[in-house]
Structure formats: structure tokens, C-alpha cells
Amino acid sequence: MEHDIVIVGAGIAGMRAAIAAAEKSRKLSIALIAKTYPIRCHSVCAEGGTAAVLREGDSFDLHAWDTVKGSDFLADQDAVEFFVRECPVEIIRLENWGCPWSRNEDGTIAQRPFGGHSFNRATYAKDRTGFHEVHTLYERMLMYDNIEIFPEYFITNLAIEDGRVQGVSAIHLKTGYMEFFQAKAVIFATGGAGRLYGFTTYSHQVTGDGLAIAYRNGIPLKDMEFFQFHPTGLIPSGILMTEGCRGEGGYLLNKNGERFMKKYAPEKMEVAPRDVVSRAMWTEIMEGRGFEGEYGPYIALDLRHLGEEKIEERLPLIRDAAIKFAGVDPVEEPIPVKPVAHYTMGGIDTNVRCETAVKGFFVAGECACVSIHGANRLGSNSTAECLVFGRVAGEVAAEYALNAEQGKISAEFRQKEEKRIFDDLLGKNGDESPYQIKKELNETMDNNMWIFREEKGLKEAVKKIQELKERYRNVEINDKSRGFNTDLTSAIEIGYMLDLAEVVAIGALKRKESRGAHYRLDYPKRDDENWLKHTIAYYTPEGPKFDYKPVVITKWEPVERKY
Amino acid sequence: MVKFRIRRYNGKKSYWQTFEVPAKRGMTVLEALYYIKENYDSSLAFRASCRMGICGSCAMKINDRPRLACETQVLTLGNTVKVEPLDNFKVIKDLITEFDEFFEKHKAVKPYLIRKNDNYAEPKELLQTPKELNEYYLFTLCIKCGACYSVCPAAATLDEYLGPAAMTAAYRFCADSRDEGQRERYQIASSPSGVWRCHLAMECSEVCPKNVEPAKAVQLLRRKTAFSILKSLLGW
Amino acid sequence: MSVSGWFRFKGRSLFSWAFTFQRLTGVVLLIYLLAHLTYLSTLLDKTGLTYESMIAITVSRQFLVFDLLLVLCGVFHGVNGFRIILHEFGIAYENRKPLLAIFTIITVVVWLYASYIMYSLTGG
């Protein structure tokens, strides 16, 4: 198949990119490939809001400063300044396309407070912000005849030949056969790698496929050791209880009934940034002040004082989920929560124009690391990032595609790729179960690469992951059939995850400081002298090779971070 | 131990298979399916993603009723749980059904805001009061899981029938104060595969996991379509 | 897909039953009406004796049960049809459950009353 632009991933970033490219030129043929139907993407799980400067009293500098401070000064400030200026127009565009934003009485778009933001700038649609953004983008996308959607195509590789991108290979799940998409430009918007962890807010499908494929093709990953832990994951499933709960006035309580955040962030209390709140909660739990529950210790998220009316009006999904998945009605009882793996700050190394080391290959959204989130992302900045950089990627790729030659995937690449998947992986016999490997990987990540890290645990993790990689060579896929072989795709995903876990673990072991979400018990201070720099990881068959890159500072010199 | 009877299909034949799953409080049917896949039979195929009832992937027939597997607690179902693919959809493999036509039908009703002055480059904020928002908000909650379509007797006898989900989407936009495309959608709705095919079995509203009330949306769309036809007949 | 889709009752609500019975009673009434008209329009006997003899069969005790079922079909189809027409205009959607119950009761009451009268007429 031949297209001008191939976009992989149909979440907010991917669909926004498709629309942007289609708007740039109706002549471009655009293929949107995803392993699920577009509206089944993980972006629908975003709940709380999307940050944008819309109202009097707020300013771009303030939003940028909040973001930089939240990032623990690891964000590239030129990128942040660009980003905050582009957010508002994206909110209004979505509004014009039908997004049911929550409204003020006068009909203007409403905004709510969010963690780490010093102005109420989280634009929201009740507590289903991501859901409505995804559906709005999907529906809008249907208006463009030059966007063709390929749902349920599982991507296996990126074809890079002659120093440029030529296309991608993907398994058509329905038939089980491999298809090759040749393109002038390829955009990856494949999301993060959250399923590395066992206790996570992520959808089952978020396995870091795009990250791993780019990495294996020599495109470096940046800042992968920074993994965000969201303070409030519902027990036992890990389902996200939005930061909006606290934004709307919810309390976090330990078993003594104290609002313990006053010890850790006296000014911002519960709406401090996520890394601060998560560490505080974990400290409370470790020091024995958590509630005891069937699934281990937990912290209470108390919404009762908000009253039924406000909860129904602002947080209906939260109430529904708490009742269905934990048997707790937040109107009557506090919700049992604990910190949960939530966001991949790192990603494929890119710049403000979404370009990468390979010509014609662009990245956007969570799989990219521009970096505007640095060491810790502020809540409501991720959907905003997807909208802003999705658009940029679409436009830049469109400009590029209008003047580029059609990509050609060589016969050699095709044969090699089919052999790799169908003969070497599917056809192979072995005695390891991929699911057992995944289970052990999840346990390792949850135990050794959680909120508090230290050398011994990280070293163990690296060793364990390398052992798992070794064992993975010997996996056997029981289902040898072709159509909808989810056994095969799961095994491929687990292979991707192992590579990424190794980068996370070694990166974390190397970074001997505490910054944002990466907290080392053995190096509890931020070290700007040695570590104010981005980690860059390159693939080698023996394991990742590391390099570092300076952080761009424009206006704000690093200072102590207090909330 | 809870017994799971699963109706499977491998592209050639359909058969039942039984598995025993150790269930405890809090376990969902989706988790049980993953348990089966990871421990007993990894060839079992089903769709799943968000596991929090918002992506719409995992609608299937559980104990004869279409439900989201991720939202259904195993212990509420008794000692035996029967799991089957959705009715009214072609089965591809095991619990996975063909959804392409379903999404085509959704697309056919022009489910997007239609405005004469669509300014991509410099959009202006359109005002909408909370009251206007509430006119249609309920109908925006559809996750396109297909549960409604699977129980619709009209869809059972007419493959071309748009079905409850698509018509709910049509009404959602017709009822949006910002929309200017009602006329086009009423035309689509009054086609032979549109609103007149609904015969009020209203089972769609009974099974909708998000309580979107598709039967209500179809009826409201029908009323609006009827008035629109009357108006054009009378030349208003 | 086929008509078998009308007869999946497991796990369904009463609304599906109402839908299916509406269809079935519709078919029964249609067949009856066709038979009725065909019979009447093909009567050649001008004396009315053939007609009388037919009537004599249909008002007999042995035939009563068929008559009652036919009336049930008619009453159900009419009453339930009225309910559907209400909803078709988008009326009383919120009260659809009580309405279904009320209309079912009306159906039964009307039918019982009709049965009583017919039973009396056959000399019971």
C-alpha cells in the first residue's frame, strides 16, 4: 500500500496529526493505523482536564513557569514556551468541532484547579475529558476524505533504508497476514509504556510498541527513567481516580484521619504536583499510617464533604467507577487509593518540530519526549501536549511529504520481517510462557522501580530484566493460527516491554540524584551540577548505550522546588 | 472456583469450552478471561483495552446478556458463567466480532458538528449554556460497544439498519445548539434504513452499559425527522 | 441475520417479549383477515345457508377456545400498538415500564371481559 503520510496510533495525538495534515493539503493521502479501533485508544482514559491559558488573570509565562517548576527544571524551556502558547487555540478548535466542554453559567468554557498549576486552567468535560476529546477528534476526522483509517493493524517494524523512512510493516489482525505501508513520512503517536508496571492506570494495550520499534531501529530514547506515579489509583484495579477529585476539593487522609499533605506541601496541600503527593502518600504508608485493607495498606480519598450534587455534576465517572470496581460510593465513604504507575515522561528523542534522528520520521504525544514534562509532568498537560504536538507533527510531516519522494520498502526488508515474525517467533518451539515472563517483569518493576529507588534494588532489577530477556528467546506461542492471533501479538508486546524496561532500569541506576518522579533513597538531593541533563539511550544488541544532552534554559534558572 | 463456559470459534467451527477460574471478590469477567488466556489456553481471543468501562472494546454476552466484561463482577454471576460473542455481529474468532460495518453506519449519519463558517485557522469560542449542554450531553456518552445493536430485533432482520448507536449519534448532533447540519441528518434518518425501521423493542436502553438511553434518542430523532418532513411537505 | 433474532428471549426484558408478540399477533391477525375475506368473497350460495352453517361451527362450544385466542391476539395487538404509537411520538419514554405494566393489565382485563361475554353467548 502506498500513502503520503502514515500515522501509527489513533489516540489524541495521532488523530490530531491526521486532521492537521489533511487540513494542510486535501491532496495528501493519509493512513491512520492502530492496533485498536480509534475510539478504543488509551486517551479515552484521561479524566481531569486539559491545561490552557484562556482567561484574564492567567498568562503564558505563568503556565510555562508552573510547567518548568513541575518538571523539576528538566524540561526544555524553549519547548515549554512554545507549547503553552499553542494550547488555547486547540481547546477552541475542539470546541468548534463539538467537544462538550463543561460550561460556566454564561456559556463560556469552564476551568478547574489542578495539581501544580497556580491558576484554574484545566479545561474539562466533567471527568471524561479524554473520552470526549477522542470522540470529538474521531468524529471530526470522518469529515476528511483523504484520511483512511486502518483499525486493528498491529505494527511490527519501521522500514528505514537509504537513510530515510520508507514505511511500516503491520499485521492485519483480522487476516493475520502482514501488510506493508509505504510512505513519504511516518508519524508515531503510539503512547507510553505503562504496562511495564503491574499496578497501573494504563489500558491493556499500552505496551510501548512504538517506543521499542523506534529504539530498535537506532532512534534514541530520552529520559526513560522518569516514570510518573499518580497519587490516586483505585484499589485493587489501579483505575485512575482523577486529580480533579482533589482539584474539586477532595482530601487525602491517613488512618489517623489527618490531612497529612500539610506536612509535605503546606501551601498547595492535596493539589501539589503528582511526584510530591505520591511520595508523601508512600511515606505515610511505609511509616505505618495507611489504612489496612484486603489488598494491603491504602490511603483514603475523601470526597464526602463535596456533597452528592457536586460529585454527580463534576465527577460522575469517578463515582461510577468507585461503585463498580471497589464497591464504595464516594458520597458515603472515602475511596481506597494508593499511588499508581501513570505516565511515561520519557520517549523518543524529538524536538519542537516533532522531528527525529531519521528523515521523514516524526513523533508526537506520550511516545515522544520533546521535552516539556522533564522529570515530572503536571496534570492536564499531557492531553494538551497531544493536541499541540499532534498538530505540529501533522503539519510538519505534511510539509515534508509535499516535497518528498515516495517511500519504497525493499523486497529484502519484507522477507526478513515476515520471517522474523512468522517463522522465527510464531513457528518456534520453546518452553517459556510469555505471560510468565510478563508477570515477573511486572513484579520487578513494581518492587524495584517504584516511587523510591535505590542502588541495590535497581541492580537487581537490571539483572532480572536481562535474565528475562534471555528467557524470552525461548518463548513458545501456543496458538499457531493466523487470524486474530492475540497470543502472537501479546508475545511481541512483551518483547517490546523487555527492551524498554532495560532502558528504564539502567537509566535509573545511572542517574545518581533525585529529580521529579525519579527519587533515589541513596541520593535524595537534586544535583544540578552533574545531572541537569537529559538521558539519551541508544540501542545496541548487548543492551542500551547511554549519552547525555544539556537542558535548554531560557528564562528560569533552577531554584529549590517548594509547594 | 467458578466455571466459565465460553463459546469459541476458530474460523471453521463453533464449540463450547469450559474452564475453572479461582474467583475472589473484586475479580471481573475480563480478569477471568485474562486468567484463562495466561494460564490455560493462550489461543483464547477477545478484545480489551481500558478495563474501566470507557473504551467500549469488551462488550460480550455474559449469562445471556450483553455486558462489558471489564465492568462485570464474577461473583455476581453465580457458579457458572456463560460467555459468548455479541449477537447480530459476525464472529471472527472466539469472542471477537466484526465491527467495520458498525462503524460505517456511525459514519453514515454525519456524526460531527456541521457549521457553515468552519474556521480551522482562527476558531472563535462558541457559547453554550449548561442548559443547552444538558440537552444532548447524555447522548455523547455512547462508547460504541455494540451492546444495543446486538439485542435489536430490527437489526437482526435487516443488515442495513443503522441501529441504535448510530441514530443516537445523529440525534446527539442534531440536539447540539452549535450545530447547523440537522437537515442533512434528517434526510439520512428518514432513509429506508433509518428511524422508521425502529419498532420500539427498547431492549437497547435496557442493556446499554452507560445508560445512554438509545431508544429515547431514536424516538426524539424520529419526532424531529417527522416534523422536518411535514415542514418540507407544507413548504414552510 | 434472520427472523430467529426475534426469538432470543434469554436475558431479555419484557420489552422484547412485547415486541415479539406484537409481531406474532400481527401475523395471526393478518392470516385470519385473509381467510375471513377470502371465505366471504367466495360464497356462491345466495340462500345464506352455507354462511349460517359456518357461523354455527364458530359459535359452538368446541370452537370457543380458538375464538378466545383470536380475540386475545386482537386485543393485545391493539392495546400494545397504542402503547407503541405513544412512544413513537416520543411520549412517555421515561414511564415506559409502568406503561408496559398498565397496558398489559388493560389487555388482560379487556380480554377477560370479552371472554365472559362470548362464553355467555355460547350459552354458558
What DSSP line would sit under A341-407, residue for residue?
A: EEEE--EEE--TT-B-SSBTEEE-GGGEE-SSSTTSPPTTHHHHHHHHHHHHHHHHHHHHHHTSPPP
Please list every residue in chain B whose beta carbon sits closer than 8 Å to the beta carbon of residue C90: 216, 219-220, 222-223
DSSP string across A458-482: HHHHHHHHHHHHHHHTTB--S----
Please list every residue in chain B whose beta carbon sits closer than 8 Å to the beta carbon of residue C6: 153, 156-157
- Closest alpha carbon within chain B to C18: B201
Three-state secondary structure along chain C?
CCHHHHHCCCCCCHHHHHHHHHHHHHHHHHHHHHHHHHHHHCCCCCCCHHHHHHHHHHCCHHHHHHHHHHHHHHHHHHHHHHHHHHHHCCCCCCCHHHHHHHHHHHHHHHHHHHHHHHHHHCCC
Q: What is the CATH number of domain A412-526?
A: 1.20.58.100
Contact call for C2 and B64, based on CB within 8 A: no
- A139-153 burial: b if 16+ Cβ within 10 Å, else e: bbbbbbebbebbbbb
Helix (H) or strand (E) holding B108: helix B100-108
Assess B54–A contact: CB distance below 8 Å, yes or no.
yes
Contact call for B50 and A42, based on CB within 8 A: yes
Q: Where are the beta strands (DSSP E) in A70-140?
A: 111-112, 122-123
Contact call for A204 and B132, based on CB within 8 A: no
Label residue C48 by pLDDT band (50, 70, 90).
confident
**Which contacts (CB < 8 Å, 24+ apart) does range C110-115 have?**
C110/C75, C110/C79, C111/C68, C111/C71, C111/C72, C111/C75, C111/C76, C114/C68, C114/C71, C114/C75, C115/C68, C115/C71
B112: closest CA of chain A, how far (Å): 5
Nearest to B49 among A106, A203, A237 (CB): A203
- For chain B, what is the largest distance between any 2 Cα atoms, rounded to a whole number of angstroms? 68
**ipTM summary value:** 0.97
C70: closest CA of chain B, how far (Å): 23
Residue A258 confidence (pLDDT): 96
Please list every residue in chain A whose beta carbon sits closer than 8 Å to the beta carbon of residue B58: none
Give the span between the Cα atoms of A479 and A467, in whole angstroms: 25
Q: How many domains does chain C have?
A: 1
Q: Considering A16, A112, A117, A246, which one is annotated as catalytic?
A: A246
Residue C1 confidence (pLDDT): 54
Contact call for B151 and C6, based on CB within 8 A: no
Nearest to B156 among C5, C11, C89 (CB): C5
Give the span between the Cα atoms of C7 and A261, in whole angstroms: 59
Assess B171–A contact: CB distance below 8 Å, yes or no.
no
- A425-463 burial: b if 16+ Cβ within 10 Å, else e: bbeeeeebbbbebbeebbebbeebbbbebeeebbeebbe
Q: Which of C3, C19, C91, C99 to mutate to test the interface with B (most CBs of B within 10 A)?
A: C19
Assess B5–C contact: CB distance below 8 Å, yes or no.
no
Label residue C74 by pLDDT band (50, 70, 90).
very high
B25: closest CA of chain A, how far (Å): 10
Assess C61–B contact: CB distance below 8 Å, yes or no.
no
- Residue keyed to cell 515534508: A400
Whether C79 maps to a domain, the answer reads yes
Are C and A neighbours with ≥3 CB pairs closer than 8 A? no
Assess C85–B contact: CB distance below 8 Å, yes or no.
no
pLDDT tens string, chain B, 236 residues long: the values are 999 999 999 999 999 999 999 998 889 999 999 999 999 999 999 999 999 999 999 999 999 999 999 999 999 999 999 999 999 999 999 999 999 999 999 999 999 999 999 999 999 999 999 999 999 999 999 999 999 999 999 999 999 999 999 999 999 999 999 999 999 999 999 999 999 999 999 999 999 999 999 999 999 999 999 999 898 888 87
Contact call for C16 and B151, based on CB within 8 A: yes
Q: Which of A19, A56, A96 to mutate to test the interface with B (most CBs of B within 10 A)?
A: A96
Q: What is the CATH number of domain B100-234?
A: 1.10.1060.10
- Closest alpha carbon within chain B to A94: B123
Assess C89–B contact: CB distance below 8 Å, yes or no.
yes
Percent of chain C whose pLDDT exceeds 70: 98
Helix (H) or strand (E) holding A320: helix A316-326
Assess B16–A contact: CB distance below 8 Å, yes or no.
no
Q: Which of B31, B49, B96 to mutate to test the interface with A (most CBs of A within 10 A)?
A: B49
Assess B22–C contact: CB distance below 8 Å, yes or no.
no
- Closest alpha carbon within chain C to B221: C90
Question: What CATH number is given to the structural domain containing C41?
Answer: 1.20.1300.10
Give me the total of CB pairs closer than 8 Å, taking one residue from chain B and one from chain C. Answer: 70
Of B173, B181, B152, B156, the C-alpha closest to B164 is B152
| Domain topology for B2-97 | Ubiquitin-like (UB roll) (3.10.20)
Whether C5 maps to a domain, the answer reads no
Give the span between the Cα atoms of B74 and B3, in whole angstroms: 10
CA distances, A58 to each of A48, A64, A120, C49 (Å) = 19, 11, 8, 97
Contact call for B49 and A96, based on CB within 8 A: no
B176: closest CA of chain A, how far (Å): 8
Nearest to A139 among B37, B112, B137 (CB): B112
Give the span between the Cα atoms of A388 and A5, in whole angstroms: 19
Q: Which of C3, C9, C14, C16 to mutate to test the interface with B (most CBs of B within 10 A)?
A: C16
Report domain extents, chain B: 2-97, 100-234
Of residues B84 and C5, the one with the higher pLDDT is: B84
B235: closest CA of chain A, how far (Å): 30
Q: Which of C15, C22, C99 to mutate to test the interface with B (most CBs of B within 10 A)?
A: C15
| Domain topology for A232-338 | Flavocytochrome C3; Chain A, domain 1 (3.90.700)
Please list every residue in chain B whose beta carbon sits closer than 8 Å to the beta carbon of residue A18: none
Whether C37 maps to a domain, the answer reads yes
- Residue keyed to cell 437489526: B155
B196: closest CA of chain C, how far (Å): 9
Contact call for B52 and A325, based on CB within 8 A: yes
Contact call for A41 and B42, based on CB within 8 A: no
Residue C60 confidence (pLDDT): 79
Contact call for B203 and C19, based on CB within 8 A: yes
Nearest to B112 among A44, A98, A204 (CB): A98
Q: Considering A135, A140, A230, A373, which one is annotated as catalytic?
A: A230
Active site residue A230: yes
Grid cell for residue A444: 520487578
Show the DSSP H helices in A197-297 as ranges: 209-216, 244-247, 261-264, 274-286
Contact call for A128 and B49, based on CB within 8 A: no
Helix axes of A381-402 and A129-141: crossing angle, nearest 10 degrees: 20
The predicted model scores a pTM of: 0.95
- Closest alpha carbon within chain B to A476: B42
Of B139, B227, B140, the C-alpha closest to B186 is B227
Residue A199 confidence (pLDDT): 97
Nearest to B57 among A40, A108, A320 (CB): A40
Residue C120 confidence (pLDDT): 85
Report domain extents, chain A: 2-226+345-409, 232-338, 412-526
Active site residue A3: no
End-to-end CA separation in angstroms for chain A = 53
Check residue A255 and give left, alpha or beta (phi > 0: left; psi -120 to 50: alpha). Answer: alpha
Asked if B50 contacts B57 with a C-beta cutoff of 8 angstroms, the reply is yes
- Residue A127 per-residue DSSP state: T
Contact call for C3 and B215, based on CB within 8 A: no
CB A183: neighbour CB atoms within 10 A?
29
- Residue keyed to cell 502514515: A6
End-to-end CA separation in angstroms for chain C = 48
Backbone angles phi, psi at A311, to 5 degrees: -60, -45
Whether C9 maps to a domain, the answer reads no
Q: Which chains touch B (3 or more CB pairs under 8 A)?
A: A, C
pLDDT at C124 > cutoff 70: no
Whether C73 maps to a domain, the answer reads yes
- A386-416 burial: b if 16+ Cβ within 10 Å, else e: bbbbbbbbbbbbbebbbebeebebeeebeee
pLDDT along chain A (563 residues), means of 10: 97 98 97 97 96 96 97 97 97 97 97 95 96 98 97 97 96 97 98 96 97 98 97 95 94 96 95 95 96 94 96 95 95 97 97 97 97 96 98 98 96 97 94 96 97 97 98 95 95 97 97 97 97 97 96 96 89
Give the span between the Cα atoms of A498 and B146, in whole angstroms: 35
A270: closest CA of chain B, how far (Å): 24
Residue C123 confidence (pLDDT): 66
- Closest alpha carbon within chain C to B214: C93
Residue C49 confidence (pLDDT): 82
Nearest to B92 among A103, A135, A174 (CB): A174
Backbone angles phi, psi at A116, to 5 degrees: 80, -5
Residue B52 confidence (pLDDT): 96
Q: Which of B97, B102, B203 to mutate to test the interface with C (most CBs of C within 10 A)?
A: B203
Contact call for B223 and C19, based on CB within 8 A: no
pLDDT at C56 > cutoff 70: yes
- A300-311 burial: b if 16+ Cβ within 10 Å, else e: bbbbbebeeeeb
Class of domain A2-226+345-409: alpha beta
